[in-house]
Amino acid sequence: MNARSVPVLDIGRLEHDRERFVAELGGAYREYGFCCLQGHGIPDALIDEAYAAFRTFFELPEAIKLRYRVAGGGGARGYTPYKTETARHAQHADLKEFWHIGRELPPGSPYGEKLPPNLWPAEVPAVRSTGHALYQALDGLGRRVLKALALHLELTADWFEPRVDHGNSILRALHYPPVSETDPPNVRAGAHEDINLITLLVGASDAGLEILTREGDWLAVAPPADAIVVNIGDMLQRLSNHVFPSTTHRVVNPVGEAARRSRYSVPFFLHPNPELLIETLPQCVDAAHPNRYPRPITADDYLMQRLREIRLL
Ligand SMILES: O=C(O)CCC(=O)C(=O)O
Ligand SMILES: [Fe+2]
């Protein structure tokens, strides 16, 4: 029997119980690569309104949704249809469709080349208002998590700040339609690792998320309703020389009644600034832990390489 579960911590402790919180959070990530965070301060109403807006969008006819697909854009903005993304090394595409929101830039920003403008669906104006607000809120929360992780790695608390202030981060509204086929070869989300630094996952509407533990078992993630699940992605695994593992995870197909329901979830993929050179931190290298990545790569080059592998480019 597996009695283990992903730890739950209160991020408010970063303010008033910093040392112990940083140690516990670091320990959770070293072990699981995942942690559930309560006390994050993002209002329920904002999350509920954003979910309602995304649901309304996904209920539109496919022909309308397809107007928001950007050819050759790697799915970075707007709509990506059902059965498009395919997990690395997987045979069959995922049973999901999604909408991506990126960072809003001031006019004339030098980052405009790497961070394309958002598309907004005219049919559902609330996607813009709530989606943008949720983006901002999760960007802020993510930076607090990075502050704690920086301290755990013996960096200065603000080490990440100038490296993520123009991050190519993405808010992904996900819809997994009901699974009507019996025993499809596809799954809702095939086993994968996230590409970015950290991912913040706002309360999924149904179960299904599982992580691969260090012992090689699949463990269901069942966060408290008021928690946001935050996990490590490949860029931070690489930067930290695997001190923080980018844990493999998947979303399994539902059985019984749940198979007749859609599942919605909203991950926020926190990315660094595109030009950041992802170079192993010297703090994470010693005789017992040689540098696994002697050749650094920019965040943008790494992202492009990975998008091709998951068939978004
Ligand atoms: O839907 C979920 O719970 C997880 C989604 C996910 O892992 C992803 O989109 O990368
Ligand atoms: Fe993921």
The answer to whether the CB of 200 is under 6 A from ligand 1 is no
Q: What's the CATH number where 74 sits?
A: 2.60.120.330
Band (pLDDT 50/70/90 cuts) for residue 1 is very low
The answer to whether the CB of 265 is under 6 A from ligand 1 is yes
What's the gap between Cα 235 and its chain centre? 12
Residue whose CA lies nearest to ligand 1 atom number 8? 267
Q: According to the model, what pLDDT value does residue 201 have?
A: 97
Band (pLDDT 50/70/90 cuts) for residue 176 is very high
Flag whether 124 is in a domain. Answer: yes
Pick the closest to residue 40 from 133, 143, 159, 131 (CA basis): 143
- Which mutation among 234, 265, 271 tests ligand 1's pocket best, with the greatest number of atoms within 8 A of CB? 265
Flag whether 1 is in a domain. Answer: no
Flag whether 35 is in a domain. Answer: yes
Residue 261: other Cβ atoms inside 10 A:
14
Q: How many angstroms separate the alpha carbon of residue 112 from the centre of ligand 1?
A: 27
Residue 269 CA to residue 275 CA, distance in Å, equals: 17
Residue whose CA lies nearest to ligand 1 atom number 9? 267
Flag whether 2 is in a domain. Answer: no
Give the CA count within 13 Å in the CB-facing half-sphere of 257. Answer: 2
* DSSP bridge pairs for 37: 9, 228
Atom of ligand 1 nearest to the CA of 199: 10
Residue whose CA lies nearest to ligand 1 atom number 1? 265
pLDDT in tens, 50-70: 999 999 999 999 999 999 999
Q: Which domain holds residue 276?
A: 8-214+227-309
Residue 250 scores a pLDDT above 60? yes
Q: According to the model, what pLDDT value does residue 3 have?
A: 60
The answer to whether the CB of 232 is under 6 A from ligand 1 is no
Q: How many angstroms separate the alpha carbon of residue 74 from the centre of ligand 2?
A: 17
Longest Cα–Cα distance of the chain, Å, equals: 58
Q: Span 268-286, mean pLDDT?
A: 98
Q: How many angstroms separate the alpha carbon of residue 291 from the centre of ligand 1?
A: 29
The answer to whether the CB of 196 is under 6 A from ligand 1 is no
Residue 136 CA to residue 190 CA, distance in Å, equals: 28
Flag whether 121 is in a domain. Answer: yes
The answer to whether the CB of 188 is under 6 A from ligand 1 is no
The percent of residues above 70 in pLDDT, for the chain, comes to: 99
**Matching residue, tokens 């509920």:** 48
What is the b/e burial string over 278-305, where b = at least 16 CB atoms within 10 angstroms of the residue's CB?
bebbeebeeeeeeeeeeeebbbbebbee
The answer to whether the CB of 251 is under 6 A from ligand 1 is yes
Residue 199 scores a pLDDT above 50? yes
**Residue 108 burial (CB < 10 Å; 0-12/13-18/19+)?**
exposed
Domain count along the chain: 1
Flag whether 220 is in a domain. Answer: no
Pick the closest to residue 201 from 47, 27, 22 (CA basis): 47
Pick the closest to residue 231 from 262, 209, 252 (CA basis): 209
Q: What is the ipTM for the molecules in this complex? A: 0.99
Residue 296 scores a pLDDT above 60? yes
Nearest ligand by distance to the CA of 98:
1
The answer to whether the CB of 249 is under 6 A from ligand 1 is yes
Pick the closest to residue 173 from 193, 201, 150 (CA basis): 201
Q: How many angstroms separate the alpha carbon of residue 211 from the centre of ligand 2?
A: 10
Nearest ligand by distance to the CA of 208:
1
pLDDT in tens, 131-156: 999 999 999 999 999 999 999 999 99
pLDDT in tens, 211-232: 999 999 999 999 999 999 999 9
Residue whose CA lies nearest to ligand 1 atom number 5? 267
Flag whether 221 is in a domain. Answer: no
Token code pair at residue 250: 């998947």
Flag whether 236 is in a domain. Answer: yes
